[in-house]
Structure 1
């Protein structure tokens, strides 16, 4: 059986294509580049970079063939919805531009109404199949537990045999022209445990710089900490217990749990750039809801310094109409309390 091929990529544009988010274009002054790292670099160097930047962008951590096999399986499963351009290979994930993109809403893109099915009846087949993909063996048992990723997190975190990939993951597609992900940080959605998890954002296939990939706020981990402290102080001032405060955080945010639906507005408000990348199949970005450490050469968790990485995504304007596919995989230290709400 031949290996699946990568989706087409437009020729490199060194003038940098214009990037769009939910509230319009990002001005060039608002955009910077993520710093790439090699998984083969010494762990102490990677840990230091992780603590200083709030993320590590690992090039080629996963075998490309494994990533493309998962992409092929996903779009083969979604093809009955009519989302793919007729006559194209499922692994390419090319959107049928003759269709209305509103019928193919991305999961977790902040649809009005919270957790209701996005797109309503028109997107029923597409959304239901996208949700079903979370439980299929090729994803839940093979891709989410890929040894290259699990082994790296085990060594990087120092958790060893206590490293647990949790089943609550978020497999997101983003059809060209649909709503992007707003500004948030992961601890918003992980209130019921200690902040001792690591998120691996994994693009499943190439994602061009203007193809809807994740963007990280420059030094957003320090800003996230400040916001978290402000929310905590406000909750305590209202006389809430610790448990009540956990469930009250979203009062400070939108009904979808976002800090802001508009990344451009958010960048202007705080005077910080959004960091972007031209992702390739096999790349992984590690960030945490809280990056907690006492020194730069360890990410020992449970100490007092708290960092919270803020991120969002661009609108998918890929020139070849490639559907962006990616997943959030989360790992916890099972020897400590962790958020089991929704864990099945």
Structure 2
């Protein structure tokens, strides 16, 4: 049973589907990728990144949270096995926002050639990586409103710059659907773009809803999921609606992922996204 924020997803064929990976024949065809991105709102790139680099960073991430009771004592941090009991949130925030987020290890991950050079190739221009980059882990068993990323589209948080920002979601380690990966509402970028142009959508920076099954019913659409493997990424437009599932991993493994944003350097850049991510930065 798959859930998001405690809501049980409808797994019928009319409400749930699978993300379509970019086929090998299109991986180095820029025009084909843009056609696919405009049509689907996303590019699911299997094996885009080196899994070894990702797993090295996964170990570094959890090691850096030592002392906050995030991962189980006596286990390899690479495994990301959740600790029993409460997390020391103050200690976790110190490590996350003072060490990991501004650190060179995270910067290297987000600018590796398979990311930075790839965006420069796709956009055929100089590119800009937004400094505000988000990295998060989720523990198995956490459920209820606010425990998973709610349904939203990125543009509501990026209105001070170009609407042609592209996001890349990177699972740092394997992320089968029961571990709480990202889900995309099929075709939603089309009605979001239309609503943005008509001025009928919410302007404040806010999620749409935590009720994923209700949103799918409202738009007669499917949530698209995947069993992500280390090295896979999803690049998506600023208009497609997406959300995270709850982590229900039976083995106690935490999901670790990061989402970063690239755009053409010459287009308007949202100034609010040019500082490191912090839990109280207001976005």
Identify whether the pair has TM-score above 0.5, normalized to the shorter chain.
yes
Matching residue of 1:292: none
Matched, 1:266 2:229: no
Q: Aligned in 2, Cα 1:223/1:23: closer, same or farther, shift over 3 Å?
A: farther
- Greater gyration radius: 1
Q: Which residue, out of 33, 58, 80, partners 2:67?
A: 80
Matching residue of 1:36: 21
Matches within 5 A, 1:15-34: 18-29=1-12, 30-34=15-19
Matching residue of 2:137: 173
Q: Aligned in 2, Cα 1:199/1:342: closer, same or farther, shift over 3 Å?
A: closer
Q: Aligned in 2, Cα 1:329/1:99: closer, same or farther, shift over 3 Å?
A: same
Matching residue of 2:193: 225
Contact 1:21-1:264 at 8 Å conserved across structures: no
Q: Which residue, out of 179, 192, 196, partners 2:164?
A: 196
Q: Say which SS state the counterpart of residue 31 (structure 2) adopts.
A: helix
Contact 1:23-1:265 at 8 Å conserved across structures: no
Q: Aligned in 2, Cα 1:201/1:82: closer, same or farther, shift over 3 Å?
A: same
In 1, the alpha carbon distance for the partners of 2:212 and 2:105 equals 34
Matched, 1:157 2:157: no
Matches within 5 A, 1:25-64: 25-29=8-12, 30-37=15-22, 38=24, 40-64=27-51
Q: Aligned in 2, Cα 1:342/1:44: closer, same or farther, shift over 3 Å?
A: closer
In 2, the alpha carbon distance for the partners of 1:154 and 1:262 equals 36
1:126 is displaced (CA, Å) by 1.9
Matching residue of 1:92: 79
Contact 2:135-2:258 at 8 Å conserved across structures: yes
In 1, the alpha carbon distance for the partners of 2:6 and 2:76 equals 33
Matching residue of 1:212: 180
Structure 1 residue runs of 4 or more that deviate by more than 3 Å after TM superposition: 38-41
Unaligned 5+ residue runs, structure 1? 1-17, 104-121, 235-247, 251-255, 290-307
Contact 2:137-2:257 at 8 Å conserved across structures: yes
Q: Which residue, out of 316, 339, 343, partners 2:247?
A: 316
In 1, the alpha carbon distance for the partners of 2:141 and 2:173 equals 19
Contact 2:131-2:273 at 8 Å conserved across structures: no
Matched, 1:339 2:270: yes
Q: Which residue, out of 100, 105, 108, partners 1:138?
A: 105
Contact 2:183-2:223 at 8 Å conserved across structures: yes
Contact 2:6-2:246 at 8 Å conserved across structures: no
Contact 1:200-1:286 at 8 Å conserved across structures: yes
TM-score, scaled to structure 1: 0.73
The range that moved more, 219-228 or 202-211, is 219-228
Unaligned 5+ residue runs, structure 2? 276-283
Q: CA RMSD in A?
A: 1.8
1:216 is displaced (CA, Å) by 0.3
Matched, 1:327 2:258: yes
Matches within 5 A, 1:275-286: 275-286=224-235
Contact 1:182-1:261 at 8 Å conserved across structures: yes
In 2, the alpha carbon distance for the partners of 1:126 and 1:265 equals 34
